[in-house]
C-alpha cells in the first residue's frame, strides 16, 4: 500500500514539476510580453524602424556608433571581435535613448573556429545527436566572440548538385533534413535561449530555393503548393516546432512571387498555421531585389511589399530605413504592422537575455576555441560523414604492417583552406589537419610516405608528361592514396556548375595512378555529388568526404588504415551524368517506368526503325538509375537484413505501425549500419513517390552479432497534402522496407483503413 502511495505521490510531484516548468515558461513569456509592450509604448516611429534595420559592419566604428546611438540599427552582422562588439553594444545600451541592445549575427554554418564537415557531410552521418553536439560547440565558440544569432540551419531540400548551395543543405530528403535541422536548432539554442552560450537559430532559406531552375543560383523556382507542402516546407515546420527563433526569406521567386514578398508563406503558413512567434529576416538585400525581380516598382514599393508580407527585419537593403516612415505617414503601411515586427525582434532579444547580459567576457573566447573536445567532435563527425562508395577486393582498410611505402598525391591531400569547405569565414586553415599531415603523424615512423600533389589546385590542368612522371613515381610505392575533389570556392553561394565531372586533370590523375599497377585509394573532398562514373574503373577504392573540416585529415587516415570503419550514407543521389538531374530517389513512378532492360545508345542498331512503342522513361546515354542511390554507403563489414515484419496487417489512421527486422553483422569487423525505413503509398488522390524515408537509426554490431531493430511509425506520419489540398492519411495499401539504402531490401505490405 505504501509503495502505491509513494508511486502516486511521485507521479503527482512529477506532474507538478512539469506544470511548474510550463508555468515558469508561460510566466517568463508573459513577463517578456509586458516588457515589450512597455518598451514599444515609449518608442518613436523612427526608433521602431531602426530596430528593423540590419547592417553589415562598414566604415569606422565611430560612424557605426553614431547610427547606433541614434537608434538607427537593430542588428549587425559580420563583426566577430568581442572587444569591438562590446564597443558597439555599449553605444546601444548606454548611449542610445532607450538602451535596446544590438543583435549580433554571423553565418556560423558548420562551426565557428573549429570547423565541422559541411552540412551535406553532416547529413551523411545520419546521426542527429552528433550534429546537435556540433551545433552546440559552434554556439559555444561563436557566442564567446559575441555572436548571438547564426544564419543556420539551411533547410533547403536540394535535388540538384549543379546548385552550389547543396553543400550547405542536408540533401534531398525531407525526413533527413527535418531531423538534421531540428538537431541544429537544439544545438545552437541549447537548454535556454538566455544562456550566454546559446545563439538564435535561423531556419533558411524560406522556401523552395533549392529547386532553382537549372541549378543556377538565385534562379526562379516553380513549385506547386502541393510540392511545397509535401516536400519543401516540412523541415521548416520541424525547425519551428523545435523552437527556431528566426527564419530567413529566400532569394527565389516561386511561381512568380519572391519569397520576401510572399504573404501566403510568411503570414498564412508561418504565423497562422504554425504559430511561429519568432522573427523573420530577409536575405541579403532580398527586399530591395524585388525591384530587379519586377515584383516592386521601386524600393519604396519593395519596402511596402516586404513589411506587409510579414518580414520583420531588412538585411542590408535599407528599404525599411529609407521608406517605412513615409509609408506609415501615407497610410500605405499600418503602424501596427511595424509594431508587430518590432515586437518579434524585441522578443528574440529579450529571450536571448541581451537586456540583462549585453556584453561579452572577452577572456572567454581563448578558453573555449579549439578545445580538445571540440576538435574530437569535429574529427568524429568527419569520420562518420565519409561515405565508402567502392572497395574492390576489400583493398580497404590498408594494413600498415604489410606496407613499406605509400604515395600521397592529389591537389586535396594538403589543402588546409579547401578542406574546410564553403562558408567558413572564421575557420583558420592553419588549424586544419590535412590528410598528409595526419598520415605523417600517424605512420611517418613506420612507412616511407611520399607526397606529390601533381596539380597545385583542383582546376589545374597538368601536362601528359607530368602525369607520366607521376605514374612512374607511383610504380615505386606499395599503395597510392589520391586526394582529389573541389576547391572550397567551387561550391556554396553563387558557385554553380553546369558540368559535374572532376575539374582540371583529376580524372587523368586517377587514370595515371591506375597505370602504375599499384593499389589505388581515392578520396574525393567536394561540396556536392560529382559525376565520377568514369573514374571508378581507375580506382580500387573510393571514399567520398564532403569537405570534412578542421579534423578531416585524421578522420580520413583513421578510416583508410582501419582504425575506424566507414558508416556514412549518401544524403543525396549521385547521378551517372549531369543530364539526369534532377534525379532523386523519392520520384514518382510515372506511367512508363523504366523496366531496367532498355537499350542504351550503343546497343541501338544503326538504321533502326523509328518507334515509340514500349518505350519507357530513361536516357539513351545514361540509362535510368543513379550511379549511387540515396542512403547508400559501404562498410568494412557486411550486414544482413532478415525477418522483416509488422505487428499487424491493417491499421487505423490513429494507430502506430510497429515494424522490425533482424539485422546481423555478417562480416569480420565491428561496424555501424544506418538502418533506414521507407514507405510507399501505392495509390493516392494524387500520385505518391515510389518511396519515402520515414525513419532511420544507427546500429552498431560486433561480427556475428544480431539484433532485432524496431521502429514505431505513427500512421499520421503517412499523411500528405492530396487532391483537395488537405493534409490527411488516406486509406489504402502501403509497402514498407527496412534496408541499408533507398534501392535495396524486401518489403512487406499493410493497409490503412
Residues classed as catalytic: 283
Cβ atoms within 10 Å, residue 617: 15
Residue among 128, 124, 123, 149 nearest 138 (CA): 149
Least separation in angstroms between residue 155's CB and ligand GLC is: 11
283 touches ligand GLC by CB under 6 A: yes
Sign of CA dihedral 410, 563, 120, 282: negative
Q: Which is nearer to ligand GLC, 102 or 406 (CB)?
A: 102
Residue 271 DSSP symbol: I
β-pairing verdict for 747-752 and 732-739: antiparallel
Question: What x-and-dash track marks residues 104-123 binding ligand GLC by CB under 6 A?
Answer: ---x----------------
344 by DSSP, 3-state: which?
helix
- Least gap, CB of 286 to ligand GLC (angstroms): 8
Q: Is residue 236 near ligand GLC by the rule CB under 6 A?
A: no
The answer to whether residues 57 and 64 touch, using CB atoms and an 8 Å cutoff, is: yes
Q: C-alpha 131: how far from its chain's center?
A: 10
CB closer to ligand GLC, 155 vs 502: 155
Distance, CA of 562 to CA of 560 (rounded, Å): 6
Helix (H, G, I), strand (E, B) or coil at 634: strand
Per-residue x/- mask for ligand GLC, residues 535 to 574, rule CB under 6 A? Answer: ----------------------------------------
* Cα–Cα distance for residue pair 323/331, rounded to 1 Å: 12
**Residue placing its CB nearer to ligand GLC in the complex, 210 or 416:** 210
Q: Closest CB to ligand GLC among 252 and 434?
A: 252
Which residue lies nearer to ligand GLC by CB, 151 or 320? 151
Q: How far is the CB of 210 from ligand GLC (least distance, A)?
A: 12
State the residue for C-alpha cell 550503343: 602
- Total of chain residues touching ligand GLC, rule CB under 6 A: 6
Reported in sequence order, the residue ranges of 346-447 that DSSP labels E, i.e. its strands, are 387-391, 405-409
Which residue matches cell numbers 524560406? 206
Strands (DSSP E) contained in 530-635 are 541-546
- How far apart CA 440 and CA 447 sit, in angstroms, is 9
Characterise 247 by phi-psi region: left (phi > 0), alpha (psi -120 to 50), beta (else).
Answer: beta
- Expressed in percent and rounded to 5, the helix, strand and coil fractions of the chain are 35, 20, 45
Q: Determine if 204 is a binding residue for ligand GLC (CB under 6 A).
A: yes
User: Contact between 493 and ligand GLC (CB under 6 A)?
Assistant: yes
- Give the whole-angstrom CA distance, residue 47 versus residue 345: 13
Sign of the dihedral through C-alpha 112, 117, 120, 123: negative
- Alpha-carbon gap, residue 296 to 310, rounded angstroms: 16
Q: What angle, 0 to 180 degrees and rounded to 10, lies between the N-to-C axes of helices 234-241 and 174-189?
A: 30
- Min dist CB 165 to ligand GLC, Å, is 8
Which of 163, 188, 206, 284 touches ligand GLC (CB under 6 A)?
284
Whichever of 107 and 384 has its CB closer to ligand GLC, that residue is: 107
Helices H / strands E in the chain, number of each: 22, 26
673 close to 707: Cβ distance less than 8 angstroms: no
**Whose CB is nearest to ligand GLC?**
151
Q: Which residue has the cell 543583435?
A: 103
**Which residue's CB is nearer to ligand GLC, number 48 or number 204?**
204
Q: How far is the CB of 85 from ligand GLC (least distance, A)?
A: 17
* Short-list 676, 674, 672, 677, CA closest to 736: 677
Least distance (Å) between residue 41 CB and ligand GLC: 32
* Residue (492 or 519) nearer to ligand GLC, CB: 492
* Nearer to ligand GLC among residue 49 and residue 77 (C-beta): 77
- Please, what is the minimum distance in Å from the beta carbon of residue 109 to ligand GLC? 8
Cβ 218 to ligand GLC, closest distance in Å?
9
Among 116, 126, 149, 151, binds ligand GLC (CB under 6 A): 151
Among candidate residues 430, 538, 528, the one with its CA nearest the CA of residue 482: 538
Q: The C-alpha cell of 454 is what?
A: 601533381
Report, in Å, the least distance between residue 173 CB and ligand GLC: 21
Note the residues at the interface with ligand GLC (CB under 6 A). 107, 151, 204, 283-284, 493
Amino acid at each position: 500500500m505504501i509503495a502505491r502511495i509513494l508511486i502516486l505521490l511521485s507521479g503527482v510531484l512529477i506532474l507538478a514539476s512539469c506544470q511548474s516548468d510550463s508555468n515558469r515558461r508561460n510566466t517568463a513569456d508573459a513577463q517578456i510580453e509586458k516588457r515589450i509592450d512597455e518598451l514599444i509604448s515609449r518608442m518613436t516611429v523612427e526608433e521602431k524602424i531602426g530596430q528593423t534595420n540590419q547592417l553589415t559592419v562598414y566604415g569606422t566604428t565611430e560612424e557605426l556608433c553614431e547610427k547606433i546611438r541614434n537608434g538607427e540599427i537593430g542588428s549587425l552582422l559580420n563583426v566577430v571581435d568581442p572587444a569591438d562588439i562590446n564597443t558597439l553594444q555599449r553605444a546601444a545600451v548606454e548611449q542610445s535613448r532607450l538602451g535596446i541592445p544590438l543583435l549580433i549575427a554571423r553565418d556560423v554554418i558548420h562551426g565557428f573556429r573549429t570547423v565541422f564537415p559541411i552540412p551535406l557531410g553532416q547529413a551523411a552521418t545520419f546521426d542527429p545527436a552528433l550534429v546537435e553536439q556540433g551545433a552546440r560547440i559552434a554556439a559555444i565558440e561563436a557566442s564567446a566572440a559575441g555572436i548571438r544569432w547564426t544564419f543556420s540551419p539551411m533547410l533547403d531540400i536540394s535535388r540538384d548538385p549543379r546548385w552550389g548551395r547543396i553543400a550547405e543543405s542536408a540533401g534531398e530528403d525531407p525526413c533527413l533534413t527535418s531531423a538534421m535541422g531540428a538537431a541544429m536548432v537544439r544545438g545552437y539554442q541549447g537548454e535556454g535561449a538566455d544562456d550566454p552560450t546559446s545563439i538564435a537559430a535561423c531556419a533558411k532559406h524560406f522556401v523552395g530555393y533549392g529547386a532553382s531552375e537549372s541549378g543556377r543560383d538565385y534562379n526562379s523556382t516553380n513549385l506547386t503548393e502541393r510540392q511545397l507542402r509535401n516536400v519543401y516546407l516540412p523541415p521548416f515546420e520541424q525547425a519551428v516546432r523545435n523552437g527556431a527563433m528566426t527564419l530567413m526569406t529566400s532569394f527565389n521567386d516561386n511561381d512568380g512571387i519572391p519569397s520576401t514578398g510572399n504573404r501566403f508563406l510568411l503570414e498564412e503558413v508561418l504565423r497562422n498555421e504554425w504559430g511561429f512567434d519568432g522573427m523573420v529576416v530577409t536575405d541579403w538585400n532580398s527586399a530591395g531585389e524585388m525591384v530587379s525581380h519586377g515584383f516592386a516598382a521601386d524600393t519604396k514599393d519593395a519596402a511596402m511589399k516586404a513589411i506587409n508580407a510579414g518580414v520583420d527585419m531588412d538585411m542590408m537593403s535599407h528599404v525599411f530605413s529609407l521608406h517605412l516612415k513615409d509609408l506609415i505617414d501615407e497610410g500605405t503601411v499600418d503602424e501596427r504592422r511595424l509594431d508587430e515586427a518590432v515586437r518579434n525582434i524585441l522578443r528574440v532579444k529579450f529571450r536571448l537575455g541581451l537586456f540583462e547580459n549585453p556584453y561579452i567576457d572577452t577572456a572567454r573566447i581563448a578558453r573555449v576555441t579549439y578545445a580538445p573536445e571540440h576538435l574530437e567532435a569535429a574529427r568524429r563527425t568527419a569520420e562518420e560523414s565519409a561515405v565508402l562508395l567502392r572497395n574492390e577486393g576489400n583493398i580497404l582498410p590498408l594494413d600498415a604492417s604489410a606496407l613499406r611505402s605509400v604515395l600521397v598525391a592529389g591537389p586535396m591531400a594538403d589543402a588546409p583552406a579547401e578542406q574546410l569547405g564553403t562558408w567558413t569565414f572564421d575557420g583558420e586553415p592553419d588549424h586544419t589537419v590535412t590528410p598528409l599531415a595526419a598520415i605523417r603523424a600517424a605512420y611517418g615512423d613506420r612507412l616511407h610516405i611520399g607526397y606529390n600533389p601533381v596539380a597545385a589546385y583542383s582546376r589545374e590542368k597538368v601536362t601528359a608528361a607530368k602525369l607520366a612522371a607521376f605514374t612512374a613515381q607511383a610504380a615505386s610505392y606499395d599503395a597510392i592514396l589520391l586526394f582529389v575533389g573541389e576547391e572550397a570556392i567551387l561550391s556554396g553561394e553563387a558557385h554553380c556548375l553546369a558540368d559535374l565531372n572532376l575539374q582540371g586533370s583529376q580524372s587523368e590523375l586517377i587514370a595515371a595512378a591506375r597505370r602504375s599497377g599499384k593499389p589505388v585509394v581515392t578520396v574525393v573532398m567536394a561540396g556536392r555529388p560529382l559525376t565520377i562514373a568514369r573514374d571508378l574503373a581507375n580506382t580500387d577504392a573510393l571514399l567520398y568526404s564532403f569537405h570534412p573540416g578542421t579534423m578531416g585529415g585524421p578522420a580520413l587516415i583513421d578510416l583508410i588504415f582501419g582504425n575506424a570503419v566507414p558508416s556514412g550514407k549518401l544524403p543525396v543521389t549521385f547521378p551517372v551524368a549531369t543530364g539526369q538531374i534532377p534525379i532523386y530517389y523519392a520520384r514518382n513512378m510515372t506511367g512508363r517506368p523504366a523496366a531496367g532492360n532498355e537499350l542504351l545508345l550503343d546497343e541501338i542498331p544503326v538504321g533502326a526503325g523509328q518507334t515509340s512503342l514500349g518505350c519507357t522513361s530513361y536516357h539513351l546515354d545514361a540509362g535510368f538509375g543513379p550511379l549511387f542511390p540515396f542512403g547508400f554507403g559501404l562498410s568494412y563489414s557486411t550486414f544482413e537484413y532478415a525477418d522483416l515484419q509488422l505487428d499487424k496487417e491493417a491499421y487505423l489512421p490513429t494507430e502506430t505501425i510497429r515494424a522490425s527486422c533482424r539485422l546481423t553483422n555478417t562480416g569480420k569487423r565491428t561496424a555501424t549500419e544506418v538502418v533506414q525505413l521507407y514507405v510507399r503509398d501505392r495509390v493516392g488522390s494524387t500520385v505518391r513517390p515510389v518511396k519515402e524515408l520515414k525513419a532511420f537509426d544507427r546500429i552498431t554490431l560486433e561480427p556475428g552479432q544480431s539484433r532485432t531493430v524496431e521502429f514505431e511509425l505513427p500512421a499520421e506520419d503517412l499523411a500528405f497534402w492530396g487532391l483537395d489540398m488537405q493534409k490527411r492519411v488516406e486509406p489504402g495499401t502501403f509497402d514498407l522496407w527496412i534496408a541499408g539504402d533507398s534501392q535495396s531490401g524486401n518489403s512487406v505490405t499493410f493497409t490503412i483503413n
